[in-house]
Structure 1
Amino acid sequence: MSKYNTEDIVRFINGQMDETEAAAFGLEMNNNTTLAEEVAAQLQLSRVVQIASIKQRLDAIHLEYETVEKKAVAIPGSNNVRKLFGWLAAAAAIAGLAIVIFLFKSGGNSNNQQIFAANFKDDAGAPSLMGDKATPFDDAMIYYKSGDYKAAEGKFGKLLFDKPQNDTLKYYDALCQVRLKNEDSALQLLTSISQPADSNLGVKAKWYSALILVHEDKTGEAKKLLTELKNSGSEYADKAGELLSQLK
């Protein structure tokens, strides 16, 4: 049972929580499938409301255009005026349609969004030292484990700049990037990991890559990776099989 209610979920979605509260909410969502599904449902509802608002605005523009056209006085060039209003209305409609398309694309397949929300969990992370003996990697890991993904990514990113071929840094920086909504960058980092596909890090990179592809509605590509994982005999084999059965 979650300690969060619908109001808390809306505040989280709208970015109205402070960093500490948002981090705690994110950790709870990682471990609570029901809460993750509720967040996905609220996101979908929010998009529906946005689309309805856009439609209402377009209807108002259309009504305004019709009213002006009816009141138009027959003066020289009035046809040009009507044409101008017609072009403006058409432009507004096209702009509105573009926004609607964008919202639907960003919302994507609601089933896929729910699958992603229910299955994307933070990595347990590597053991990290604290205090005087802590390394920059330890500092980054502590931020990651605490849910401060922005600070963690900044530190992992700095380390990765100095060691661009380090697969561990690529992996954790990618997971931070996902939390920061930079999924294309995350996928690029994960697919550039050079360790063997059947190694522990290679398998985990493939799992998270598949989840990102699901979230981006690239179902065919996701299924390919999940099928490979299902047949790998790794710790993710059963999970991959379950996801394959859920994808449409």
Structure 2
Amino acid sequence: MSNNQLNITEPDLALIDDYITGKLTLPEKESFEQRLQSDPEWKSKVEEIKLLSLGIREAALRQKLDTFHQVQPGKIRPISWLKKLSVAAVLIGLIGLCCWWLFLKPSADEKLYADFYKPDAGLATEMSVSENYNFERAMVDYKTGKYSAAIDSWKKLLPLNPGNDTLNYFIGSAYLANKDGASAIGYFNDVLKTGRTAFSSEALWYKGLALIRLGKKDEAIEAISSSGHPQKAALLHKLKE
């Protein structure tokens, strides 16, 4: 059974595992247990993960015992195919969980980024027949999650007005939403080069988030400190912990 079947996110799974294995600090443990008392759905998720962990350990132990009995003279015991398949299925699940933990578990930087990142909502569009039609058509792509299409369209407009802060900002936003922080930073920097504009504060905020994901903590703090985003103080506190 996967964490998707249990409807448990990867950050939740990591937090529950830290609780089960005793890795939480005392304040974190107290907060976790308060949530257990007040949130029945959360309690149910924790119990499911506990049962899954117990089942994995028991299956591994049974496999060891079965192997032991098979190699002891005079103590050979038949093992049904169903039992073999059941143990194999559980062990495969354990291997998958370990692989996720070792190779796919989000880093601390990625978790912090995910906690604070929310794509820019974009601008209202009228889709009128005007010189802004192509820009607005690309905005529709952006707002519907077609980030690559939006980038392609906006980049075609950029040579006509390379210093346009609106174009640069939304190309950067689309790159960041498309999980390309390195490219996004270049366009946010182009916004900031034009001086104080309507997009300066947000460009600094999203540049800082992109830098967090790239592991450039000091540069991220500098950018975020200069932004006017309402979550600035909370994010800076996390970065400086």
TM-score (norm 1): 0.52
Structure 2 residue aligned with 1:159 = 157
Per-residue deviation, 1:207: 0.5
Query: 2:201·2:226 contact (CA, 8 Å) conserved in 1?
Result: no
Per-residue deviation, 1:109: 7.6
**Which has the higher relative contact order, 1 or 2, with Cα contacts under 8 A spaced 6 or more apart?**
1
Query: 1:174·1:187 contact (CA, 8 Å) conserved in 2?
Result: yes
Per-residue deviation, 1:127: 1.5
RMSD: 3.2
Query: 2:150·2:174 contact (CA, 8 Å) conserved in 1?
Result: yes
Query: 1:116·1:211 contact (CA, 8 Å) conserved in 2?
Result: yes
**Counterpart check, 1:127 vs 2:127:** no
Alignment of 1:192-207 (within 5 A): 192-193=190-191, 194-197=193-196, 199-207=197-205
Distance 1:161 1:8 in 2: 49
Query: 1:40·1:114 contact (CA, 8 Å) conserved in 2?
Result: no
Alignment of 1:96-107 (within 5 A): none
Structure 2 residue aligned with 1:243 = 235
More displaced stretch, 206-215 vs 109-118: 109-118
Equivalent residue of 2:231, what SS?
helix
Structure 2 residue aligned with 1:182 = 180
Structure 2 residue aligned with 1:60 = none
Structure 2 residue aligned with 1:218 = 216
Query: 1:149·1:180 contact (CA, 8 Å) conserved in 2?
Result: yes
Structure 1 residues without counterparts, runs of 5 or longer: 10-33, 42-102
Distance 1:127 1:139 in 2: 11
Query: 2:127·2:136 contact (CA, 8 Å) conserved in 1?
Result: yes
Corresponding pairs, count: 150
Larger Cα-atom Rg: 2
TM-score (norm 2): 0.54
Label 1:151 to 1:203 Cα distance change in 2 as closer, same or farther (>3 A): same
Residue 203 of structure 1 aligns with an amino acid whose one-letter code is S
4+ aligned runs moved over 6 Å, structure 1: none
Structure 2 residue aligned with 1:92 = none
Structure 2 residue aligned with 1:136 = 134
Per-residue deviation, 1:191: 0.8
Query: 1:116·1:215 contact (CA, 8 Å) conserved in 2?
Result: yes
Cα deviation code 1:22-48 (max 9, x no counterpart) = xxxxxxxxxxxx96946999xxxxxxx
Per-residue deviation, 1:130: 2.7
Query: 2:151·2:175 contact (CA, 8 Å) conserved in 1?
Result: yes
Distance 1:40 1:205 in 2: 31
Aligned sequence identity (%)? 29
Equivalent residue of 1:192, what SS?
helix
